[in-house]
Amino acid sequence: MSTNSLRNTFILLIGFAGTGKYTIGRELCRRTGARLIDNHLINNPIFKVVNADGVTRLPAPVWEKVKDIRRTVYEAIRELSSPESSFVFTMELRHSNPGDHLAFLDLQELAAARQSLFVPVRLLCEVDELCRRVADPARSEMLKEISPGNARRKFEEDSVLNPEHPNVRTINVSRKSPGESSEAVLNEVNLIRIASGS
């Protein structure tokens, strides 16, 4: 597919750790010129301070500090970025976590304030493939979760957030390459644009 530039669009990639959100997001940005706001761009300044190892559960105060950074990034997008700019966000948002529902609403509100097209995309991955991906040694360099046991537990006990929004789409990426996954996301964005007449 040729480069498909986006204008004033927010794409949110939602999925469990290891699904491929960062890799797919990077490919989307390469194809469209959007800017990637990966969850680890926001998380890692705090993760480095607390020596996160990708396995041990992090205490609640860590996530409060992460929220502070996210809030600052959102304020910068609202106040400083050009109106035409598009962004790809990645987040692990789970159904069982009330804070994740609020995090979704925060981003939805930012998109509304900018009058941006907001497209939340749930990326699903079969559990065995998820466990294989999460154990990739390259993930530890980015302070990402690397425990297949944790990945399997989350998969079995929880689900990827399925927010109430008219533009929510779900794509199973278990057998898709990053290029194929990004193509599927862009196809959905284009269909939404056509349907809305924008």
Beta-carbon contacts of 162 under 8 Å, excluding residues fewer than 6 positions away, are 95, 122, 168, 170
What span, in angstroms and rounded, lies between the C-alpha atoms of 194 and 84? 18
Query: Mind listing the pLDDT tens digit for each residue in 138-173?
Result: 898 877 888 999 999 999 999 999 999 999 999 999
Give strand pairing partners of 119: 11
Residue 59's pLDDT is 80
pLDDT at 4: 64
Higher pLDDT, 161 or 57: 161
pLDDT band at 198 (very low <50, low <70, confident <90, very high): low
* Per-residue pLDDT band at 2 (split at 50, 70, 90): very low
Q: Work out the average pLDDT over 90-119.
A: 97
Arithmetic mean of pLDDT over the chain: 93
- Proportion of the chain above pLDDT 70, given as a percent: 97
Is residue 89 a contact partner of residue 13, using CB atoms and an 8 Å limit? yes
Catalogue all structural domains in the chain, each as residue range(s) with its CATH number: 9-196 (3.40.50.300)
Rounded Cα distance between 146 and 160, Å, is 18
Q: How confident is the model at residue 191 (pLDDT cuts 50, 70, 90)?
A: very high
Interval 79-99: pLDDT, tens: 999 999 999 999 999 999 999
Higher pLDDT, 80 or 50: 80
